[in-house]
């Protein structure tokens, strides 16, 4: 009898699974306006080539998303591990409802009184330490950092800015000027003389490493470089305007600065007459788990003069903010020039932001980031013991980096292998990306609704993909051979792309 019941239940589950698959396929088909080939053709014809695609050889056409999942035109489901914009989950019904409701009533500029704006600003201010309390609403992280730079220059009456190597703060002209991630690609020829680049505080492959110093000393050492830059600026008869850094570097390779770093840097910069800007565009709103803002990881005595917010703030809607002190805001006001942004602080954007902040609190997403993030980091560190290509695992909450190397002693970046892993994970319906100066760091910044089950699934699939990458590691000779063992046919690679590099690495590169 029990066997019959079990068999019936299996049949029911199978039918439900098939029905859901059919529904997903039908829904995806109904959302596709044209075949993928036509979409690619029109994109190639009308969209600038500088606008890059993920998975260029076989781009993903996404037609809908929900929670931590995205769906292509065929109805295939992908686990989204990289979309830190859909902070509370793709298409969260409460966010959608808030936007729809306000859009049906009014959308106008902030020269009119509206409750949504003041409620948004007051709630943002309540989440930040004093004296950060004056808000400017804008439309993107790039705009936020541009305004932050303008505030700093106005307040200090100086122009020289200190930034970190391989930092990225946005795409506006002024912000590209302080983003080595961009201007380094031009061999540094476009760096302005008022921009000063400090070493990225990378304790794994950076200038000062954890194998050589204790954590506290690492922070002091990296901060000394900033202090020296301040002295150099002064020696040129100029003054320091600002130091700007992401609280945790994302594009830089998921970098967590060492303890004592920000305390010392902020002190050096302020003693030189500059102000400190924390870019929380990618890492804010509870992602680190223990705190709402990543700069708070470094202690209560680390309080920036300006904080910029963006991406997760609107869960996919374009909205961002700059929060500063009354003193700095007053300097800006005293110029006599009005600050007006057509869409900044509009009622729809503010309604959506208010909904996002409410959901983070109500659904305990910050706590979830801590729980799932800790589990993910622990399991990844276990995986690193089995997979020698993993050189370092680091992170806080749901901000995680996995650095792949061809040699754990020399720490040679496994760039081609990282790209291979990203491609293979996509084939297995998991979306990740790689970044860092050498593009060898797998980065995870999933929606905050990411579950323990999602984390375990990710680890399991990553383990199988990394099994394809075999490292023969001779500690005495400090040499390695990396072999990607996946068959050429299994990943659709032309035999002509099989390459033997000059670093003892045999790998296949997907077209």
For residue 167, pLDDT beyond 90: yes
Does the pLDDT of residue 490 top 60, yes or no? no
Residue 29: what pLDDT? 56
**Which has the higher per-residue pLDDT, 152 or 52?**
152
pLDDT tens-digit readout, 304-337: 999 999 999 999 999 999 999 999 999 999 999 9
Rounded distance between C-alpha atoms, residue 278 and residue 261, angstroms: 13
pLDDT at 33: 87
To the nearest whole number, what is the mean pLDDT of the chain?
A: 88
CA dist., res. 357 & res. 340, Å (int)? 25
ω before 153 within 30° of 0 (cis)?
A: no
Name the fold adopted by 37-90+365-468.
3.90.1150
pLDDT band (50, 70, 90) for residue 216: confident
Cα separation of the two ends of the chain: 55
pLDDT at 371 > cutoff 90: yes
User: Is residue 506 over pLDDT 50?
Assistant: no
Q: Which of 246-250, 391-395, 411-415, 504-508 has the lowest mean pLDDT?
A: 504-508
Q: Taking 50 as the threshold, does the pLDDT of residue 500 lie above it?
A: no
Kindly report whether the global pTM for this prediction surpasses the value 0.95.
Answer: no
pLDDT for 190 equals 78
Q: How many other CB atoms are there within 10 angstroms of residue 407's CB atom?
A: 24
Contact present, 320 and 309 (Cβ < 8 Å): yes
Q: What is the pLDDT of residue 502?
A: 30
Report the C-alpha gap between 29 and 23 in whole angstroms.
Answer: 10
Q: How many Å apart are CA 339 and CA 273, to the nearest integer? A: 25
| Rounded Cα distance, 181 and 435, in Å | 11
Where does the pLDDT of residue 3 fall: very low under 50, low under 70, confident under 90, or very high at 90 and above? Answer: low
Judged against a pLDDT cut of 90, whether residue 445 lies above it is answered with yes
Rounded percentage of the chain residues whose pLDDT exceeds 90: 81
Which of residues 215 and 306 earns the better pLDDT score? 306
pLDDT reported for residue 80? 98
Q: How far is it, in rounded angstroms, from Cα 249 to Cα 434?
A: 13
Name the DSSP class of 314.
G
pLDDT 10s digits, 252-268: 999 999 999 999 999 99
Please check the confidence at residue 285 and state whether its pLDDT lies above 90: yes
How many Å apart are CA 91 and CA 345, to the nearest integer? 21
Name which of 6-20, 129-143, 453-467 the model is least confident about.
Answer: 6-20
Q: Nearest CA to 345 among 12, 102, 164, 61?
A: 102
pLDDT, tens digit (0-9, with 9 covering 90-100), for 223-254: 999 999 999 999 999 999 999 999 999 999 99
With tokens 């565009």, the residue in question is 281
Helix (H) or strand (E) holding 103: helix 93-105
> Any residues with CB less than 8 A from the CB of 324 and at least 6 apart, and which?
132, 134, 136, 148, 151, 305, 306, 307
What's the pLDDT tens digit per position in 470-486?
A: 565 444 334 343 444 43
The whole-number pLDDT of residue 304 equals 99
Q: Please, what CATH class does the domain formed by 106-363 belong to? A: alpha beta
Could you tell me the residue ranges of all domains in the chain? 37-90+365-468, 106-363
The predicted structure's pLDDT at residue 188: 54
30-55, pLDDT tens digit by residue? Answer: 678 899 999 999 999 999 998 989 88
Q: Any idea which residue has 């996404």 for tokens? A: 62
**Per-residue confidence band for 14, with pLDDT thresholds at 50, 70 and 90:** very low
Give the dihedral of Cα atoms 263, 265, 268, 273; nearest 10 deg. -110
The answer to whether the CB of 99 falls within 8 A of the CB of 348 is: yes
Q: For tokens 């020399």, name the residue.
A: 410
Q: Please, what sign has the CA dihedral across residues 38, 41, 45, 50?
A: positive
**Residue pair 206/412 in contact by the 8 Å Cβ criterion:** no
Query: Rounded CA gap, 350 and 348, in Å?
Result: 5
Q: What is the pLDDT of residue 28?
A: 53
3-state helix/strand/coil string of 158-226? CCEEEEECCCCCCCCHHHHCCCHHHHHHHCCCCCCCCEEEECCCCCCCCCCCCCCCCHHHHHHHHHHHH
Whole-number CA gyration radius for the chain: 24
State the pLDDT at residue 389.
96
The Cα 235–Cα 237 span in angstroms is 5
Question: In percent, how much of the chain has pLDDT > 70?
Answer: 85
């Amino acid at each position: 009898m029990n066997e019959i019941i079990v068999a019936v239940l299996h049949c029911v589950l199978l039918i439900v699974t098939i029905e859901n698959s059919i529904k997903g396929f039908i829904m995806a088909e109904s959302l596709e306006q044209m075949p993928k080939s036509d979409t690619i053709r029109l994109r190639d014809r009308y969209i600038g080539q500088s606008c890059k695609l993920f998975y260029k050889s076989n781009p993903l056409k996404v037609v809908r998303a929900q929670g931590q999942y995205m769906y292509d035109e065929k109805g295939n489901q992908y686990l989204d591990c990289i979309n830190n914009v859909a902070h509370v989950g793709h298409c969260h019904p409460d966010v959608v409802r808030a936007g729809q409701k306000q859009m049906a009533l009014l959308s106008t500029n902030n020269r009119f009184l509206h409750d949504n704006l003041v409620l948004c600003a007051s709630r943002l201010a309540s989440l930040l330490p004093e004296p950060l309390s004056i808000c400017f609403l804008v439309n993107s992280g790039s705009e936020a950092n541009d305004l932050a730079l303008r505030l700093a220059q106005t307040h200090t009456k100086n122009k020289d800015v200190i930034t970190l190597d391989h930092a990225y703060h946005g795409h506006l002209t002024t912000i590209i000027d302080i983003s080595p991630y961009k201007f380094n690609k031009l061999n540094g020829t476009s760096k302005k003389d008022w921009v000063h680049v400090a070493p990225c505080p990378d304790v794994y492959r950076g200038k000062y490493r954890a194998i050589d110093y204790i954590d506290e000393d690492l922070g002091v050492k990296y901060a000394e470089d900033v202090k020296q830059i301040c002295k150099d600026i002064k020696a040129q008869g100029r003054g320091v305007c600002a130091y700007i850094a992401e609280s945790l570097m994302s594009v830089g390779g998921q970098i967590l600065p060492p303890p004592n770093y920000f305390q010392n840097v902020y002190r050096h910069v302020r003693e030189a007459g500059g102000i400190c800007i924390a870019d929380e565009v990618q890492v804010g709103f509870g992602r680190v788990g223990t705190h709402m803002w990543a700069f708070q990881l470094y202690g209560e005595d680390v309080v920036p003069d300006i904080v910029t917010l963006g991406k997760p703030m609107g869960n996919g809607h374009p909205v961002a903010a700059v929060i500063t002190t009354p003193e700095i805001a007053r300097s800006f006001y005293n110029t006599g020039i009005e600050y007006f942004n057509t869409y900044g602080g509009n009622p729809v954007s503010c309604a959506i932001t208010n909904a996002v902040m409410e959901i983070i609190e109500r659904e305990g997403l910050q706590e979830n980031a801590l729980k799932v993030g800790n589990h993910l980091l622990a399991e990844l560190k276990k995986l690193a013991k089995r997979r020698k290509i993993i050189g370092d695992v680091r992170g806080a909450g749901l901000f995680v980096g996995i650095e792949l190397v061809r040699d754990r002693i020399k720490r040679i970046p496994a760039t081609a292998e990282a790209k291979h892993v990203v491609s293979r994970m996509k084939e297995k319906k998991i979306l990740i990306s790689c970044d860092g100066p050498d593009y060898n760091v797998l980065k995870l910044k999933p929606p905050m609704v990411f579950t323990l089950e999602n984390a375990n699934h990710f680890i399991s699939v990553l383990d199988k993909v990394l099994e394809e990458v075999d490292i023969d590691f001779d500690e005495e000779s400090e040499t390695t051979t990396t072999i990607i063992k996946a068959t050429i046919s299994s990943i659709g690679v032309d035999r002509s792309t099989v390459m033997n590099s000059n670093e003892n690495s045999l790998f296949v590169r997907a077209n």
